[in-house]
Structure 1
Amino acid sequence: MSSVAIVGAGPGLGAAVARRFGREGFGVALLARDGDRLGALAGELAREGVRARGFAVDVRDPVALAETLARAAAELGTIEVLQYSPVPQRDFMRPVLETTHADLVGPVEFSVYGPVAAVQQVLPGMRELGRGTILLVNGGTAVIPHTDRAGTSIAFAAESAYGHLLHDRLAEEGVYVAQLVIPGAIVAGHARKDPAVLADTLWGMHRDRHGFRHYADDLDG
C-alpha cells in the first residue's frame, strides 16, 4: 500500500489533505517540527479511520528530512504522493532593501534545499511504483514578487523553477509535478480557500494530472 507524505502538516490544510487522501486509502505521513501536535493530529485521524503517523523534523535540515521520509515510507508504504507545503517563517519576509545575503539563507534552505532533498528521497520509490505525484504549495509571491517580502519572493521563485523543471522532465516517467499557488491566507469557510476545498483541489490535481501551475484564487495585481 502506498502513502502520501505531507511536509509542513498542520491543523488546517495539512489535516484537510490528510483526511482527503486518507479517504482514498492512502497511508498518511505527517511531517512538521512540533512532534506533540503531530501526535495529536495523527491520533485524531486514526479515530476517523485514517492510517496516519507523525514525524517531527525541521525542513531546513535536508539530511534529517530525507531520513524522516525514508522512515515514513518504511512504516506506511512507498510514498506515492509528496506534498511540500510548510508555512514560511515571518523573518523570511523582510523589505528587499533591508534583505542581506545572510537573510536569504533561511528562505533558500526552506524553499529550495528542502524540496530538493524531499524529491530526491521519494523519487526512487515513485519510479519503482511506476507512478507518483509531487505537489508544491506556495503563496502568491511565487508568482508576483512583493518588495516587502523579499525572502519568500526570491525563494518561492526558485522553488517554482525547480518544480517546473521536474514537471517537464518526469512526465515521461509517470511522475506528475504541479504547483498550487494560494494567494493570501487560507480562510475557513472561504469558497476557494477553505482547507477542505483546497484539499479537494489538490486531490483533483493528483487525479487529473494536467498542467503545472494552478491557482486557488485570483491573484492581487
Structure 2
Amino acid sequence: MAAPVIVVVGAGPGLGAALARRYGREGYAVALVARSPGRLEELGTALQAEGITAGWTAADLTDEGALRAAVTRFGGFSGSIDVLHYNPSVFRERDPLELTAAELLQDVHVGVGGLLTALQAARPFMAAGGRVSATGSMAADAPWHRAASLGVQKAALRNLVRSIDATLRPDGIRAVSVTVNGTLEAGTAFDPDRVAQALFDAARQPEESWRVELPYDG
C-alpha cells in the first residue's frame, strides 16, 4: 500500500518543517511547496536524511499557474493527496494609513487566495477521509494595527476554511483551521513542534465531533 501524502504549502524552516516532520514520523510522504528554491531544497534534503519521503517544488504562491501545476504534479505522481495544509502569511508592518489597497490585496492573495488555488488543484486527488488544514492566528481576533494586513489575512482564512468544510463535507472531506494564540518560539509553549502536534491532532479529529476552528493556547 502506498504511503499517505501531505502537501504543505508555504513550507518554511519553522512551523512548516515541524509539521512535515510530524506527518513524516507517522509514515506520510511529504510534498513541499514554497517560494524560495534554496531553502526548500535544504528542508527537503534534511527530511530525506531523516528517513522521510519528501519531494518539493518551488512556486510563487501568487502565480496561480505555477502553484496549481505544483500541486497537480504531486497528486499525479502519488495518485492521491490525503492532507492539504496551508501555512503562509505575509507580515507587512504598515498601519491603515500607510497600507495601500494594492498591498492589502497582494498580502491576502498569499495568505488566503493561494489556498483556493491549491485546493482546486488537489481536489481531484482527494477522497473521503481527506483533510484540509490551515495555520490560523490570534491576529484574526486581536489584530495589531501596525500590521493591518495580517489580521485581514487570518480572519479571511478562517472564514474560507469554514466554506471549504461546508462544501467538501458531503464527500467525506473535512477542513479545519487552528488559531495559534501566541508567538512561535522554540523552547516555549508555542514551540513549532508543539504547534505542529496541535495541527496534526486537529486534522485527525473524530468525524462525529468535528470542529472547523480550534484554538491552540499553548
Unaligned residue ranges in structure 2 (runs of 5+): none
The alpha-carbon deviation at position 189 of structure 1 amounts to: 1.2
User: Is 1:29–1:76's contact at 8 Å kept on the other side of the alignment?
Assistant: no
More off after superposition, 111-120 vs 99-108: 99-108
Instruction: Determine the structure 1 residue equivalent to 2:195.
Output: 198
TM (norm. structure 2) is 0.90
Provide the alpha-carbon RMSD of the alignment. Answer: 1.7
Distance change (3 Å), C-alpha of 1:203 and 1:138: same
User: Is 2:11–2:34's contact at 8 Å kept on the other side of the alignment?
Assistant: yes
Instruction: Determine the structure 1 residue equivalent to 2:83.
Output: 81
Q: Deviations over 1:25-76 (max 9, x none)?
A: 2110111111122112111111211100121011111221111111122334
The alpha-carbon deviation at position 201 of structure 1 amounts to: 1.0
Distance change (3 Å), C-alpha of 1:26 and 1:59: same
TM (norm. structure 1) is 0.89
The alpha-carbon deviation at position 158 of structure 1 amounts to: 1.9
Given residue 86 of structure 1, which amino acid in structure 2 is its aligned partner?
P
Q: Deviations over 1:113-147 (max 9, x none)?
A: 21111111111211xx3221111112221223332
Given residue 120 of structure 1, which amino acid in structure 2 is its aligned partner?
Q
Q: Matched residue of 2:38: which SS? A: helix
Matches within 5 A, 1:79-158: 79-88=81-90, 90-91=91-92, 93-126=93-126, 129-158=127-156
User: Is 2:143–2:151's contact at 8 Å kept on the other side of the alignment?
Assistant: yes
**Matches of 1:54 and 1:148 in 2, distance apart?**
34
The alpha-carbon deviation at position 4 of structure 1 amounts to: 0.3
The alignment covers a number of residue pairs equal to 213
Matches within 5 A, 1:66-77: 66-77=68-79
User: Is 1:27–1:77's contact at 8 Å kept on the other side of the alignment?
Assistant: no
User: Is 1:108–1:155's contact at 8 Å kept on the other side of the alignment?
Assistant: yes
Q: Once superposed, which parts of structure 1, at least 4 consecutive aligned residues long, lie more than 3 Å away? A: none
Matches within 5 A, 1:8-47: 8-47=10-49
The alpha-carbon deviation at position 77 of structure 1 amounts to: 4.2
Q: Matched residue of 1:161: which SS? A: helix
Unaligned residue ranges in structure 1 (runs of 5+): none
